[in-house]
Amino acid sequence: MGIATDIILLVVAAFFGGLVMQRLGQPLVLGYIAAGVLLGPHTGGLTVSDTHQIELLAEIGVALLLFALGL
């Protein structure tokens, strides 16, 4: 799987995890965290293929967030 497939898979899983937690009356972030744990690279199930590329995108995202906040 490529980077786009990995990101789409994680976003869709987080969306459905959020829906489940919302139905259970829990905060949405618990669904997002559960999806990340289940699909992350350190579990035995479905994993992302290249963590280096995702880490690079995450660092770029943090830099853009800090820029938008004016820090």
Q: How do residues 17-63 score in pLDDT, each as one tens digit?
A: 999 999 999 999 999 998 888 887 777 656 666 678 878 888 998 99
More confident residue, 42 or 10: 10
Q: Tell the residue number behind the tokens 């898979």, with chain if given.
A: 9
Q: Tell the residue number behind the tokens 């660092």, with chain if given.
A: 59
Structural contact between residues 45 and 38, judged by C-beta atoms closer than 8 angstroms: yes
pLDDT band (50, 70, 90) for residue 6: confident
Q: Where are the domains of the chain?
A: 3-69
**20 phi, psi to nearest 5 deg:** -65, -45
Structural contact between residues 21 and 33, judged by C-beta atoms closer than 8 angstroms: no
> What pLDDT, on the 0 to 100 scale, is given for residue 49?
64
Q: What's the whole-model pTM score?
A: 0.68
